[in-house]
C-alpha cells in the first residue's frame, strides 16, 4: 500500500473505533488520579492496549505503562505518548469529592488519543506495513504538584525525579526511541483556531523555602520575636521588584503560595513555608532568574535577622518543538481543517515536561482543540468530542504513517535535521545540578 491508501484505511478505522475511544476517555475522566497515584488509570490503559494484541509493561515509572508494536522490526522507533495524571481543582463540578482531583487539563483525552492511534494502526492492518516500530507510552506525573508526596516516594527510593518524563529518561525508557509525538488540547477556538502543529513552553525550577524566626507573644512582647512571615513577605516583594530586570524575550514568570503562615495569630510566627515557581523560556534565563530569587530570599533573612532554608528541584525544561515533524503534522491537519484555522505556533509560557525530551530528541507536541475554559480551572470542559478526541487521532495516525512509510523516509528526514541541545546523559546531569539546598542566615 502507498501512504494515501494507508491513511484512508486508518481514517475509516478511527470512525469505526469512535465509541471505544470516547468510552475510554469517559472512564478515565470519571476516575481521576494525581501524579504517581495513577494505579487505576495505568491498569485501564494497560488492559486496553493488551486487548489490541500488544505486549504491555506496567509500572514503567512507578506508575504508567508501555505497549509495543512491531517489536523487533528494524527501523526507527516512534513513541506515541499520553499523560495519565489529573490536577486538583476542588471547585470543579466534576472533581472527586474526596481528593479534589479532576482531569481539567485534558490528560484523559491525551491517553485516549494515544489508544486511538494504536487501535487504528493495528485494526486497519497498517502497522505491519510500516518500516519501523511504535511504542505507546502512558506517562505518569506530568503536573508538578503534591511535592511532599513525591518527596516521600523519592526518600523511599521509588522514584528519582518528580516529573514523569524525567523519571522515564532516568530509567532509560527513551534510549531506543528516535522521536516522540503527542497531542495536547488547549482552548484555542476562542481565538478562531482548531489546532497548532507546535507550541512554545517555559522551563521552570520549583522552590520550597522555610523561613525560621523566633516565636514570642505578638501583643505583649513582639520585640522578642523574629517574624518569619514578614521574612516571606519581604522576599515576595523583592521578587516583584526584580521584574524589570528580566528581558521580555525570556518570558520569565515567578509565582508563589504560602503553604504555612504561622500557628496562632497572637504569636509571632516562627516557621513559614513559601512555595515558588521560577519559569523562563531558556536555560540561561532560568538560571539567572533563580539566582535573583535566591538573593531576594537571602536579603529577607538578613533584613529580619532570621534563617531561610531553600530546597530547589528541577521542574520541566524549555520546550523546543521539532519543526520538521510540525510541518508533517500540518500537512495532515489540512485534511481536516481549513488552513486559516491552523495556528502556526501557539505561544505559551506554561510548562510541559516533554520540553525535557526536546533537549535531546525530536518531539511533536501538537495543540488540538475541542475544549473551553481555563486549564486547571473550574470552567474547563469539553465542547466538541470530534475536535477533542477523534480528529487528533486521525492527524497523529496519519503523521506516524508519513514518518514510517516508504522506508521510514520521513523519520530519516527528522533525524537528519535535528540538532540536540545536549545528550540524554548531559540532560540527567543538568537536572541533578539544579537540585540544591541552601541555608541563609543573618
Per-residue pLDDT tens digits for 61-105: 999 999 999 998 999 999 999 999 999 999 999 999 999 999 999
Q: What is the mean pLDDT of the chain?
A: 97
CA distance 307 to 298: 8
Confidence tier at 269 by pLDDT (50, 70, 90): very high
Give residue 105's pLDDT. Answer: 95
3-16 vs 18-29: helix crossing angle, rounded to 10: 60
Give residue 262's pLDDT. Answer: 93
- At residue 258, the 3 state secondary structure works out as strand
- At residue 320, the 3 state secondary structure works out as coil
What angle is formed at CA 368 by the lines to CA 114 and CA 328, rounded to 5 degrees?
Answer: 75
CA distance 21 to 11: 13
Confidence tier at 231 by pLDDT (50, 70, 90): very high
Q: Which set of grid coordinates corresponds to residue 117?
A: 492511534
Give residue 309's pLDDT. Answer: 98
Confidence tier at 442 by pLDDT (50, 70, 90): confident
Grid cell 502507498 is found at: 2
The 10s digit of each residue's pLDDT in 3-55 is: 999 999 999 999 999 999 999 999 999 999 999 999 999 999 999 999 999 99
CA distance 392 to 383: 15
* Architecture of the domain spanning 203-316+427-440: 2-Layer Sandwich (3.30)
Q: Which set of grid coordinates corresponds to residue 143?
A: 503536573
For residue 415, how many other CB atoms are within 10 A of its CB?
15
Give residue 432's pLDDT. Answer: 96
Confidence tier at 219 by pLDDT (50, 70, 90): very high
CA distance 67 to 322: 24
CA distance 391 to 388: 7
Model confidence at 207: pLDDT above 90: yes
Give residue 147's pLDDT. Answer: 86
The 10s digit of each residue's pLDDT in 328-381 is: 999 999 999 999 999 999 999 999 999 999 999 999 999 999 999 999 999 999
Give residue 335's pLDDT. Answer: 97
CA distance 88 to 125: 40
The 10s digit of each residue's pLDDT in 284-319 is: 999 999 999 999 999 999 999 999 999 999 999 999
CA distance 163 to 182: 17
For residue 110, how many other CB atoms are within 10 A of its CB?
26
Please give the C-alpha separations between residue 213 and each of 218, 232, 257, 260, 442, in angstroms, as whole numbers.
Answer: 13, 11, 19, 13, 11
Give residue 321's pLDDT. Answer: 96
Give residue 206's pLDDT. Answer: 93
Q: Which set of grid coordinates corresponds to residue 315?
A: 521542574
CA distance 308 to 120: 55
Domain ranges of the chain: 3-200+318-407, 203-316+427-440
Does the domain at residues 3-200+318-407 carry the CATH identifier 3.40.630.10? yes
Residues near 13 by beta carbon (within 8 Å), at least 6 away in sequence: 119, 120, 123, 124
For residue 45, how many other CB atoms are within 10 A of its CB?
28
Amino acid at each position: 500500500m502507498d501512504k494515501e491508501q494507508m491513511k484512508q484505511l486508518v481514517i475509516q478505522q478511527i470512525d469505526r473505533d469512535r465509541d471505544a475511544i470516547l468510552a475510554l476517555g469517559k472512564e478515565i475522566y470519571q476516575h481521576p488520579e494525581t501524579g504517581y497515584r495513577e494505579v487505576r488509570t495505568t491498569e485501564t490503559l494497560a488492559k486496553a492496549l493488551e486487548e489490541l494484541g500488544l505486549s504491555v509493561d506496567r509500572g514503567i515509572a512507578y506508575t504508567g505503562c508501555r505497549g509495543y508494536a512491531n517489536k523487533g522490526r528494524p527501523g526507527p522507533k516512534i513513541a506515541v505518548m499520553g499523560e495519565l495524571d489529573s490536577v486538583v481543582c476542588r471547585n470543579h463540578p466534576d472533581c472527586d469529592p474526596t481528593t479534589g482531583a479532576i482531569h481539567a487539563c485534558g490528560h484523559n483525552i491525551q491517553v485516549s488519543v494515544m489508544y486511538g492511534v494504536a487501535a487504528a494502526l493495528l485494526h486497519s492492518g497498517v502497522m505491519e506495513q510500516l518500516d519501523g516500530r511504535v511504542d505507546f507510552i502512558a506517562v505518569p506525573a506530568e503536573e508538578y504538584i503534591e511535592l511532599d508526596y513525591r518527596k516521600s516516594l523519592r526518600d523511599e527510593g521509588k522514584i528519582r525525579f518528580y516529573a514523569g518524563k524525567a523519571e522515564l529518561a532516568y530509567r532509560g525508557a527513551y534510549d531506543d526511541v528516535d522521536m516522540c509525538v503527542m497531542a495536547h488540547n488547549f482552548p484555542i477556538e476562542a481565538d478562531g483556531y482548531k489546532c497548532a502543529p507546535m507550541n512554545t513552553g517555559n522551563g521552570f525550577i520549583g522552590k520550597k523555602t522555610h523561613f525560621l524566626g523566633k516565636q514570642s507573644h505578638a501583643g505583649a512582647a513582639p520585640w522578642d520575636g523574629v517574624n518569619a512571615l514578614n521574612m516571606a513577605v519581604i522576599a515576595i516583594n523583592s521578587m516583584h521588584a526584580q521584574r524589570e530586570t528580566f528581558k521580555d524575550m525570556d518570558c520569565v514568570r515567578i509565582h508563589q503560595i504560602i503553604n504555612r503562615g504561622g500557628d496562632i495569630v497572637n504569636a509571632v510566627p516562627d516557621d513559614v513555608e513559601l512555595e515558588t515557581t521560577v519559569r523562563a523560556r531558556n536555560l540561561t534565563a532560568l538560571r539567572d532568574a533563580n539566582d535573583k530569587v535566591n538573593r531576594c530570599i537571602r536579603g529577607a533573612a538578613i533584613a529580619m535577622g532570621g534563617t531561610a532554608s531553600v530546597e530547589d528541584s528541577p521542574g520541566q525544561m524549555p520546550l523546543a518543538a521539532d519543526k520538521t515533524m510540525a510541518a508533517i503534522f500540518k500537512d495532515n491537519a489540512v485534511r481536516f481543517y481549513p488552513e486559516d484555522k491552523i495556528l502556526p505556533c501557539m505561544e505559551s509560557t506554561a510548562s510541559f515536561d516533554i520540553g525535557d525530551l526536546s533537549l535531546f530528541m525530536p518531539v511533536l507536541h501538537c495543540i488540538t482543540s475541542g475544549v473551553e475554559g481555563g486549564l486547571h480551572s473550574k470552567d474547563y470542559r469539553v465542547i466538541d468530542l470530534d475536535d477533542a478526541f477523534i480528529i487528533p487521532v486521525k492527524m497523529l495516525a496519519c503523521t506516524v504513517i508519513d514518518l514510517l512509510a516508504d522506508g521510514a523516509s520521513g523519520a530519516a528526514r527528522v533525524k537528519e535535521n535535528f540538532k540536540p541541545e545536549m545528550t540524554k546523559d548531559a540532560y540527567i546531569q543538568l537536572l541533578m545540578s539544579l537540585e540544591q539546598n541552601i541555608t541563609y542566615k543573618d
